[in-house]
Structures are given as C-alpha cells and as structure tokens.
Structure 1
C-alpha cells in the first residue's frame, strides 16, 4: 500500500517556483519603448557638458556668447584700478569716464594731477599689459574742480544765486 506523505514546505515552494517559471516563459517578452528626444551620448570618464561647471567657466562662456567682451574690458579698468596702478596712486586719483579710448582720471589735488601727467606713459603701459591695447589709448588727467552752479544745459550769465546767503 502506498502511503501518501504530507507535502513538505520545500516541495510546495519548489512546485510554486516551477509554475511561475512556466508562466513567465509562456508570456511574450515586452519591448522597450524609446522616449522621443535626442539619443544620450555618454561623456565617458571625464566631465561632460551637462555636468556641474565652475562658475568662472560659465561666466566666460556667457560673455563670449553674448559678445560682452569689450564691455567687460572697460569694466575691468574701473573695477581693478587699484591693482593696475597700485595702491599709492589709486589713493590719490580715480578713473571717471572712458569714451572712445580716452580715460579721464580725476586727481585729488593739482600737484597730484601734475604728477599723474608725468606718470601717464607708465600708467598707459600698465593698462595695456593688464587690460588690453585697444581699450585705453589716451589718458587725460584733470585736477579737482570748483563746484558749479549750473544745473543743466542752459544757464544765465552772472555771479550765481546771491539771495540765499544774505
């Protein structure tokens, strides 16, 4: 007489695993769908264009894309004035305007204006070396000016407003 043994848990698990494998083999394989868009190219072991970039490199690329190179050179004359001419000279004068290659420098006294006129060739040389040759071509140095009563393009000749001091 054949006696039926009770099923062991490992036999039940094995039978369930075989049934799952048979069902999986009978099902058709799913196809992978590609999402529309450009195919991704892997950058390899080095950094790629979509990786985080240093801020300086991003600013340089933005300046070149927008063609801001001439404006940044003009800004560097004013922003780096202390480093270009040195702290001694920079403490006694400041750049005022830069138009058509002429840099207007205002000195704190007439003595410093005279001294800066004598130093103009060396200051121009420093500007050419650190900023570029085409940005500043001439240096015009002026001394301090007296306050003006003129407040617009039109004025009346005379000695100024005398009735306010009386």
Structure 2
C-alpha cells in the first residue's frame, strides 16, 4: 500500500501529518514535546516561504528586500535625524520666549567665570530685571572698585552670555545689620541711639 503524499499548504510547504492549509498542522496523535516540535517546524516553514516570496537571495545567502527610496534622507543633516539635547532645548526656549530668562540664569550660574574669581569672591549678583543687573559688594571698597570696572564687566558678560542680556550694573554696598529680631519690636533707632 502506497503512502499518501504529505499535505501541502497554500505556499507549497509540507504540513505536518494530518495538517491542512488553513490550520498549519493537526495536533491529533501528537502530545508534549512532539506537538511543540511540529508547531515550531510548521512556523519555520511558513516563515521561510514568506521570506522566499518577498526578496531574492543575496550574494551571501541572505535575503535582499526592496527598499523604498522615497523615505530616505540625504547625506547631509536633516531635521528627522537625532538631535543633540542642547539644540532641542534651545529651540523650545526660543519658541516659548524663554531665551532672555535662560541667559539671565547663565549670568548667575557662571558669575565666577564671567567676571573673574577675585571679583566673584567679593561680590554677589542679586537680581536681573529689564537688562539691569543688581550686584552686592562685600565692602564699600569693593563697591567702588566694581563701579570703576563696570564697563569691562559688561563687556565680559556680553562675550560670555550674549549682547543686551545685561545693559547696566547697579552696585550696592554691604547690607547694614538689622536690629529687628522677632515678630515684636519698638519703632525707632533701637540700641544705636545710646552710642553717643
């Protein structure tokens, strides 16, 4: 008695015993590891048949698939290419109008490198509003020195963070100690009126 020819799927691949084209394979008579092997073999054959119909074999036995040229970018940079985080952040800041605030923040963050370590050691930037930077000096001598160096400091800041971020510098001397401690106090000069 001749063995019947194995059933074949629509793609021509042989199905495991008792299989039909619609189901992939029939699990009757198989159990455990044999069932898993049969299912795996059917999936491999089906995948190989799909790959064979898609592309032609390449020089190394691999498959070549046809690429669409319409989606390719040119050799130069493109806006669809991955972008550095700094460039994206700058674009977002510009779109939302945050550039001036970020430049002002750089003045405070880079104060030591902008004005020099010696000046930064004796001064503290307090506020930047409408192009006017308020700086507090540690002593009256340093406040005078800062007023004399104002033009050079403005140039260094412009070179470091950009033009028109800081247009003027307002220099304050050291803050006098406060005699007001606690929620209750008496108005007037306080203990200083007994000094002389």
Structure-2 change in CA distance of 1:115 and 1:161 (3 Å): closer
Counterpart Cα distance in 1 of 2:11 and 2:154: 82
Aligned to 1:146, what secondary structure does the other structure show?
A: coil
Q: CA deviation at 1:147?
A: 2.0
Q: Alpha-carbon deviations, 1:123-160, whole Å to 9, x = none?
A: 01111222222221111112102123469xxx975123
Counterpart Cα distance in 1 of 2:100 and 2:116: 23
Q: CA deviation at 1:43?
A: 4.6
Q: Does 1:128 align with 2:158?
A: yes
Q: CA deviation at 1:49?
A: 5.5
Matches within 5 A, 1:103-118: 103-118=133-148
Q: CA deviation at 1:54?
A: 2.8
Aligned to 1:20, what secondary structure does the other structure show?
A: coil
Structure 2 match to 1:142:
172
Q: CA deviation at 1:65?
A: 2.5
Task: Figure out how many residues of one structure are paired with residues of the other and give that number.
Answer: 133
Counterpart Cα distance in 2 of 1:125 and 1:47: 35
Counterpart Cα distance in 2 of 1:132 and 1:110: 29
Aligned-residue CA RMSD (Å) = 3.4
Counterpart Cα distance in 2 of 1:102 and 1:114: 18
- Normalising by structure 1, we get a TM-score of 0.63
Counterpart Cα distance in 1 of 2:129 and 2:108: 13
2:128 alignment partner, one of 98, 102, 123: 98
Structure 2 match to 1:36:
none
Structure 2: 5+ residue stretches without partners: 13-20, 22-69
- Normalising by structure 2, we get a TM-score of 0.55
Q: CA deviation at 1:114?
A: 1.1
Structure 1: 5+ residue stretches without partners: 28-39
